Chains A and B, each alone.
With several copies, the nearest count.
Chain A
């Protein structure tokens, strides 16, 4: 995990292209509204249309499809569990029956339909989130959230957390490697011991570093809170983009209604 987690989704957001060029607040608003539409959709068509739109856009700006699959895989495993529970536990119209150790397992039609709907919502929802996070740098995303009146302290905290994840990650990787070359992960018992040491060192380091960071901050005039302001300008181009995205939202919404 550690070795691949440097592929935070937003590492792609620093390139310049059509999608990353859309102003952050617009994209945040679009994503949130689309998430609601996705969740309220009575049919599988809206979620699938959303997924199609997002994934197509991401592939168009050159995101490796392997990564998209990777991001979708984990939620889909969970959705799979849910689908199975729905098939067997929900509904009245029997679809199929499997004899199983003296029991009859009954799969229901309504359950299958509901399972598929949930599955499609997962695909649609996850696509939307990666659409947002792969095309918007974390920093812009959070400043946009600040503009939407998310508490400043929360934003400030998240920015700091985001920054120091990378610093600590580097330290963890080195400490873990240092343990490995001295056979710290030779068997399970030693692994647990080495892991505890690693976690403990991480905490101690975090404290020490926090002290030094604080010194560096007050040396540059820090008085207790950071000034967070969204400075980006909302130009004509952004207005056009916002109108287009609104139209897309309306279409996505209508797809669900018409089919129902």
Chain B
């Protein structure tokens, strides 16, 4: 569990990059961090594992203040995946790179080898171990970067825009991997991102930042219902929510809620159609299934 209390920070001592941030990441939670370029997402993440030290305010890890921990203790518990995998991969081969953190933790060579193979398997990089880093594709690099963090088995992972510059297939497979880890091993995740289409599908909670402050937070459905707030944070609505908003405002159609996933949108539309078309109502309603979005990302 990570918590910040009135956390403020400025890089140069005058213009604040973070202002009075109060945030709590609970165990096993998947939290999304949204906000415009330069609003302070990366800066905030770097405070959560002590890479940056607050100008004022405090950060707690499991109820104890972060600065009372030794560096190693923090980094074993809190992993971080950086925005650019090229920054993060410094080994000569994939195996060497993934092993970097584990070796530093002082494991024995055979344990290191086992862990390395295991996590590479997990991220779908079983065939990669002996490849040189610079021959990997971007998506592969991203997976290896995540593997290197997983190898250290942290309870919490901080992810800085893990999907930028990836192709849609890559985005969806990385996100599925992350969700699986979150659900199965209970790893808490906090993910900074610009992708408003993706967030609702994966996160338990959304935090929106603007200008160094947290301006709103809550479950995706609630946060995206406040359109003015979204606009203020230089974001946009997910496409489907936007469609429904237009239909509501311009055409006066009655919707029950703002849908964020394809599953939700489908339900909304079907129930709308049902209420309108008396003669075919029964035929359609039998089709309505409520479920997770299938291959949605």
Which A positions have Cβ atoms within 8 angstroms of B? 6-7, 10-11, 14, 64, 137-139, 142, 159-160, 162-164, 166-167, 171, 174-175, 177-186, 190, 197-198, 201, 205, 209, 212-213, 215-223, 226-227, 229, 231
Chain B residues near A220 (CB, 8 Å)?
75, 79, 100-101, 104, 148-149, 152
Please name 12 further chain A to chain B contacts, defined as beta carbons within 8 Å, in addition to the given A182-B100, A219-B80, sorted by A numbering.
A14-B130, A64-B13, A137-B132, A163-B92, A178-B90, A180-B51, A181-B49, A181-B79, A182-B104, A183-B152, A185-B71, A215-B51
Which secondary structure dominates where chain A touches chain B? helix
A205–B132 Cα distance when bound, in Å, is 16
**Interface-central residue, B87, B96, B105, B132, by most chain A CB under 10 Å:** B87
Cβ-defined contact, B90 with A213, below 8 A = yes
Chain A residues near B12 (CB, 8 Å)?
6-7
Residue interface bits B148-192, CB-to-A below 8 A is 1, else 0: 110010000000000000000000000000000000000000000
Q: Is B109 an interface residue (CB 8 A)?
A: yes
**Interface-central residue, A160, A177, A178, A183, by most chain B CB under 10 Å:** A178
Which B positions have Cβ atoms within 8 angstroms of A? 11-13, 46, 49, 51, 71-72, 75-76, 78-80, 82-84, 86-93, 96, 100-101, 103-105, 109, 130-135, 148-149, 152
A197–B109 Cα distance when bound, in Å, is 21
Cβ-defined contact, B46 with A167, below 8 A = no
Cβ-defined contact, A190 with B104, below 8 A = yes
Chain B residues near A218 (CB, 8 Å)?
51, 71, 75
Interface pairs (11), CB distance under 8 Å: A163-B90, A174-B83, A181-B75, A182-B148, A183-B105, A186-B72, A198-B90, A215-B82, A217-B100, A221-B101, A222-B104
**Interface-central residue, B79, B88, B90, B92, by most chain A CB under 10 Å:** B90
A163–B144 Cα distance when bound, in Å, is 15
